[in-house]
Amino acid sequence: MRYSQILIPTLKEVPAEAEIVSHQLMLRAGFIKQLTAGIYTYLPYGLAAIRRVENIVREEMNRAGAQELLMPMVQPADLWQESGRYTKYGPELLRFKDRHERESCLGPTHEEVITDIARKEIHSYRDLPVNLYQIQTKFRDEIRPRFGLMRGREFIMKDAYSFDVSDEAAETSYRKMYVAYNRIFTRCGLEFRCVEADSGTIGGSFSHEFMVLAETGEDTIAVCNDCSWAANIEKAEVKPFETGENEEIRDMVKVETPGKRKVETVCKFLSIAPARLVKTLVYIADGEPVALLLRGDREAEEVKVKNHLGVADLRLADDTEIFEATGVPSGFLGPVGITIRVLADREVTRMVNFTVGANEKNFHLQQANFGRDFSVEEVGDFRRLTEADPCPSCGSSIRLVEGIEVGHIFKLGTNYSESMRAYYQDADGNELPLVMGCYGIGVSRVVAAAIEQNHDASGIIFPLPLAPYQAAVVNLDLKDREVSEAAEEIYTELTEAGFDAFIDDRDVRPGVKFKDADLLGFPYRITVGKRFKENGQVEIRRRKTGETEDVAIGEVIAYITRRLEDERVA
RNA sequence: CGGGGCGUAGCGCAGUCUGGUUAGCGCGCCUGCCUUGGGAGCAGGAGGUCGGAGGUUCGAAUCCUCUCGCCCCGACCA
């Protein structure tokens, strides 16, 4: 590709709207142009990077035995009504009517459409297993799009759907995708972790997320320092540990705590550690109030609570709602004599002589004890894991890191096949629901994540597999015939040797070319200038390290070939 | 949707509080000269209904009302 022929509108200055590095660099390097909130045009260079990811994804999906197809973006509402998601999905699903007043929507995902295909075309166990995938633009009317391609409303996604005869067979399909995903992200040259994940609204029994490690990640993941365990913090189990508390149980006493409502102020007032207090949080779960007992210094993990309750919506109650539900002003709630449904984090059940709200304004209870003073039916793991907690798998220490979710695989089971009646016949003639799995990769997000993870002050440092062009020839003097011919020759030879080569043939000053080359992140830069006239050598510079080497013009192809091979192995 | 911020040339901004000449600056863009191994210099030039509508005023980018859009913090997700 010639710079003179491709539209890459680079920017010297950082556009004001961009907050995170990948967004800034994508704008500066002319990858994308925003049309409206969360919706972007992919300009030629940005699209080229996206194609790189797509090709890797395609190759690995095909290798794993999946078949590519392409489903419609506009979908009839009936399908979504059948699966029950038309009402459940919420405002993220963009709905509209066509000219015939038919209810329609833009596909945020394609379980309904694929299940419709399956029920029409797959009838026998002989047809199974099947895994179908597509790479397509999705539309989700996000509450708040942000960070450029990281969370757009329109984005490119690879989604795959597997169909199997049984749970065990579905697990085999799942495992194949698990392997394929590991290969994909490894091939992309990304540092990532596969973690246990919450399956969220798509539903299903278990799932894994693939997280690119980057400080700007929107998710927190817990990683074991010794074993291979890793999980999304939302899902990460807090292992019950032996407290060894053998403190003598004492009588409960009621104490006055005028105006002391927050854990911190109550503890200070009573001179106790927050770990000796049990706080009572009130949530509104699908409209119903629920109390949660948690040690004073702990944080609730709402996803765990949500899953336990099996509700779609969970949020903290406000002061008014708390009073309406319990008759107690917030800050003085406690488990003793409470009237609403109560959940307790299992840590709480091991505590003795702790402090709780007295369910009476300006009073708390001290030396309260589980079993004697109150009891709770529902005990579970409801708190957020901390770095001080042990690995739930091996007991060793863990750490928390930020990650960008680039892939998510789910074992769906028969939710969709049953609600949409996608059945097959087994060898004995029984009608059985197809067992499904679904597997997503945020293709456009992968590019953003790659940049987030690979950049420096000068610009992007493309991992070799994702770079639109592996090497850029920089012609420093268009007017010098000797230099220009040499540059053109190298460019032609690289192209003929099968490389995706780039040549900066613009009539601009050297500094401009160097700055743009750095910004655009070509892995290798081959500079042809006056040094060539002096001694027939060109400079080859590696973007990642900045190391340079002078190479005779006849050696360039061999040199580049060797370097790219080395990197591929490394 | 709740909370905050911003809309002035392609990009980054000043001017708005305290109304008053032809609305500025840097970068980018066009022309010419010059220059050519890290975003050069000089000269000339194009480009604005100051987001939009209404109002107040002799006079509005500036004050008032309404409206549209974008960004940031929270609930959602590849």
- Cis before A129? omega within 30: yes
What digits encode the pLDDT tens for the residues A379-412? 999 999 999 899 999 999 999 999 999 999 999 9
Q: What is the pLDDT of residue A431?
A: 96
The answer to whether A163 touches A413, Cβ cutoff 8 Å, is: no
Q: Which nucleotide is closest to the Cα of A546 by its C1'?
A: B38
Gap from A508 CA to B38 C1', in Å?
A: 12
DSSP line for A414-445 = THHHHHTT-EEE-TT--EEEPEEEEEEEEHHH
Q: Cβ of A479: how many Cβ atoms within 10 Å?
A: 7
What digits encode the pLDDT tens for the residues A163-215? 999 999 999 999 999 999 999 999 999 999 999 887 665 555 688 999 999 98
Which alpha helices (DSSP H) does A435-552 contain, by range?
A: 443-453, 481-496, 510-520, 530-535
Tell me what the mean pLDDT of segment A66-90 comes to.
91
Q: Which nucleotide is closest to the Cα of A18 by its C1'?
A: B71
Among protein residues, the one whose C-alpha sits closest to the C1' atom of B35 is A509
What digits encode the pLDDT tens for the residues A444-465? 999 999 999 999 999 999 999 9
The answer to whether A306 touches A380, Cβ cutoff 8 Å, is: no
Q: What is the pLDDT of residue A516?
A: 97
* H or E segment and range at residue A45: helix A44-63
What are the sequence ranges of the domains in chain A? 3-237+399-452, 253-380, 469-569
* Pair of tokens at residue A405: 């979710």
Report which residue type is found at A308: H
Here the contacts of A261-267 (C-beta below 8 Å, separation 24 or greater) are A261/A329, A261/A330, A261/A331, A261/A332, A262/A331, A263/A296, A263/A297, A266/A355, A266/A364, A267/A296, A267/A355
The answer to whether A491 touches A438, Cβ cutoff 8 Å, is: no
Q: Which nucleotide is closest to the Cα of A508 by its C1'?
A: B36
Q: What is the pLDDT of residue A259?
A: 87
pLDDT at A158 over 70: yes
The answer to whether A198 touches A303, Cβ cutoff 8 Å, is: yes
Among protein residues, the one whose C-alpha sits closest to the C1' atom of B26 is A13
Q: For residues A155 and A161, what is the distance between their CA atoms, to the nearest angstrom?
A: 19
Gap from A530 CA to B62 C1', in Å?
A: 56
More confident position, A260 or A570: A260
Give residue A85's pLDDT band: very low, low, confident or very high (50, 70, 90): confident
Tell me what the mean pLDDT of segment A47-56 comes to.
97
Q: By percentage, how much of chain A surpasses pLDDT 70?
A: 98
Which residue from A344, A406, A447, A505 is spatially nearest to A53, judged by alpha carbons? A447
Q: For residues A327 and A241, what is the distance between their CA atoms, to the nearest angstrom?
A: 35
pLDDT at A300 over 70: yes
pLDDT at A161 over 60: yes
What digits encode the pLDDT tens for the residues A133-156? 999 999 999 888 989 999 999 999
Tell me what the mean pLDDT of segment A298-320 comes to.
85
Gap from A270 CA to B50 C1', in Å?
A: 60
Count Cα neighbours of A501 within 13 Å in the Cβ-side half-sphere: 24
Most confident of the ranges A80-89, A213-222, A314-323, A456-465: A456-465
The answer to whether A210 touches A449, Cβ cutoff 8 Å, is: no
Among protein residues, the one whose C-alpha sits closest to the C1' atom of B69 is A36
Give residue A434's pLDDT band: very low, low, confident or very high (50, 70, 90): very high
Q: What is the pLDDT of residue A243?
A: 63
pLDDT at A19 over 90: no
Strand B nucleotides below 7 A of a protein CB?
Answer: 1-2, 11-13, 26-28, 35-40, 69-78
Q: Which nucleotide is closest to the Cα of A146 by its C1'?
A: B71
Q: For residues A364 and A182, what is the distance between their CA atoms, to the nearest angstrom?
A: 53
pLDDT at A242 over 90: no
Q: What is the pLDDT of residue A204?
A: 56
Among protein residues, the one whose C-alpha sits closest to the C1' atom of B70 is A37
Q: Which nucleotide is closest to the Cα of A90 by its C1'?
A: B76
Q: Which nucleotide is closest to the Cα of A138 by its C1'?
A: B78
Gap from A459 CA to B43 C1', in Å?
A: 34
Positive or negative, the CA dihedral A152, A153, A158, A162 is positive
Tell me the pLDDT of chain A averaged across its residues. Answer: 92
Q: What is the pLDDT of residue A138?
A: 94
pLDDT at A246 over 80: no
Give strand ranges (E) for A12-66.
Answer: 32-36, 39-42
Q: What is the pLDDT of residue A377?
A: 87
What digits encode the pLDDT tens for the residues A508-527? 999 999 999 999 999 999 99
More confident position, A495 or A327: A495
* H or E segment and range at residue A180: helix A167-187
Q: Which nucleotide is closest to the Cα of A315 by its C1'?
A: B75
Q: What is the pLDDT of residue A86?
A: 87
The answer to whether A104 touches A96, Cβ cutoff 8 Å, is: yes
Gap from A134 CA to B40 C1', in Å?
A: 50
Give residue A474's pLDDT band: very low, low, confident or very high (50, 70, 90): very high
Tell me what the mean pLDDT of segment A36-52 comes to.
94
Gap from A18 CA to B20 C1', in Å?
A: 38
Gap from A392 CA to B36 C1', in Å?
A: 63
Q: Which nucleotide is closest to the Cα of A517 by its C1'?
A: B38
Q: What is the pLDDT of residue A201?
A: 53
Phi, then psi, of A154 in degrees rounded to 5: -100, 135
Q: What is the pLDDT of residue A314?
A: 83
Q: What is the pLDDT of residue A488?
A: 96
- Domain A253-380: what homologous superfamily? YbaK/aminoacyl-tRNA synthetase-associated domain (3.90.960.10)
Gap from A156 CA to B66 C1', in Å?
A: 39
Q: What is the third-level CATH fold of A469-569?
A: Rossmann fold (3.40.50)
Among protein residues, the one whose C-alpha sits closest to the C1' atom of B1 is A143
ipTM above 0.90, yes or no: yes
Per-residue DSSP letter, A520: H
Q: Which nucleotide is closest to the Cα of A534 by its C1'?
A: B37
Q: For domain A3-237+399-452, give its CATH number from 3.30.930.10, 2.60.15.10, 2.60.120.260, 3.40.50.2300.
A: 3.30.930.10
Gap from A337 CA to B69 C1', in Å?
A: 53
Gap from A517 CA to B40 C1', in Å?
A: 19
- For residues A179, A185, A190 and A194, what is the CA-based torsion angle, rounded to 10 degrees? -50
Q: Considering only A41-45, A240-244, A433-437, which range has the smallest mean pLDDT?
A: A240-244
Q: What is the pLDDT of residue A447?
A: 96
Gap from A505 CA to B41 C1', in Å?
A: 23
Gap from A14 CA to B38 C1', in Å?
A: 19
